[in-house]
Amino acid sequence: MTMPTTTPPSGKAALTGTPFADVTASATTLRRFLHGLPGVDTVGLEARAAALGTRSIKTTAKAYAIDLAISMIDLTTLEGADTAGKVRALGAKAVHPDPTDRTTPKTAAVCVYPDMVATAKEAVAGSGVKVASVATAFPAGRAALAVKLADVRDAVAAGADEIDMVIDRGAFLAGDFMKVYEEIVAVKEASGQARLKVIFETGELSTYDNIRRASWIGMLAGADFIKTSTGKVGVNATPANTLLMLEAVRDFRAQTGVQVGVKPAGGIRTSKDALKFLVLVNETAGADWLDNHWFRFGASSLLNDLLMQRQKLATGRYSGPDYVTVD
């Protein structure tokens, strides 16, 4: 998958001269803007997500979609028991997902904790696979801002190409939108050249209206991606919350010219699931987002099922779960 060589500007500078130039001037203007966003039609949103999920993709189109989905995966291990050996194995798998078939695309990235970034960088060196690191006291985000920024700087210093941060959900739910915005701006600055993915933990935001507001805070603050979840709570990525976020990035680009990526994460385990999400992308944001520079899957086990489905298309039979490595 060919990636663009430059990233469009983001943050305050990119919004100069747009309808949103003064939205973040104060807590009052930001609150007024966020509460002025159109309310989400829950029934309509879920019905559209369900309807798009019934679309069928077959034969050649399915083979293309499976390869596209593989190329969009942030292959992830975020466990307390992670070891250097496990991260090296994950990196090898990201570079050559199917060692018996070198036509299989690489994954977009491997995603690890900050202390494993250097190991991951070594494992994928020269391959083009990115190294993403969760930071800002992931997954809860319960730490002082100085600690969160140190977490980010450590990951970047170790070589992280991308930073996945978590927002302060407590501040958001208390209505302190400016605090959430300012933290994202500070993390964006600390990330330097690394692309920033902003995780909302949609399962904790309670309402679709809150997910829409969080999406706009992230985009206004300069997020390169907005991301559904950490994968560490009961409700993670769903077709409906991802559809809502895709609508947000579509509308944001239409009004500012700035493109922002989307990353659903957690609970996407099968090829069927992944293809449904690709349909959502195409039908909602459009073909410009059908690229791993703008759309990712945060997943650990999804790759295995995609590989088995890919083998099925090539040979006419399933190879079974022992065909792929166990994560």
User: What would the pLDDT profile of 33-79 be if each residue is shown by its tens digit?
Assistant: 999 999 999 999 999 999 999 988 877 899 999 999 999 999 999 99
Sign for the pseudo-dihedral over CA of 13, 19, 22, 28: negative
14 burial via Cβ count (<10 Å: 0-12, 13-18, 19+): middle
Q: How many CB atoms lie within 10 A of CB 167?
A: 27
Please list the active-site residues.
164, 227, 263
Average pLDDT in the 293-307 region? Answer: 95
**Average pLDDT taken over every residue of the chain:** 92
CA distances from 182 to 139, 179, 200 (A): 19, 5, 15
Per the structure block, which two tokens stand in for 171? 């501040």
The pLDDT value recorded for residue 300 is: 86
Q: How far is C-alpha 41 from the chain's CA centre?
A: 24
Judge contact between 83 and 13, C-beta under 8 A.
no
Angle at the Cα of 72 (from 74 to 99), degrees rounded to 5?
80
**Beta partners for 165?**
198
CA distances from 72 to 126, 141, 167, 175 (A): 18, 26, 23, 34
DSSP-derived pairing of the beta strands 261-263 and 225-227: parallel
Is the omega angle on the peptide bond into residue 9 within 30 degrees of 0, that is, cis? no
**Beta partners for 246?**
none
The pLDDT value recorded for residue 2 is: 39
Q: How many CA atoms lie within 13 A of 175 on its CB side?
A: 5
Distance CA 228, CA 197 (A): 10
Distance CA 221, CA 207 (A): 21
The pLDDT value recorded for residue 56 is: 81
Per the structure block, which two tokens stand in for 147? 């600690």
Q: What is the pLDDT of residues 204-236, one digit of tens each?
A: 999 999 999 999 999 999 999 999 999 999 889
How would you list the strands of the sheet with 73-76, edge to edge? 261-263, 225-227, 195-199, 162-166, 130-134, 109-112, 73-76, 297-299
Strand ranges, E, within the chain: 73-76, 109-112, 130-134, 162-166, 195-199, 225-227, 261-263, 297-299
Residue type, 231: G
The pLDDT value recorded for residue 317 is: 73
Distance CA 242, CA 297 (A): 11
DSSP 8-state code for residue 73: E
pLDDT of 8 strictly over 60:
no
Give the predicted TM-score (pTM) of the model: 0.92
CA distances from 52 to 26, 88, 165, 276, 300 (A): 39, 38, 30, 7, 25
Q: What is the pLDDT of residues 253-262, one digit of tens each?
A: 999 999 999 9
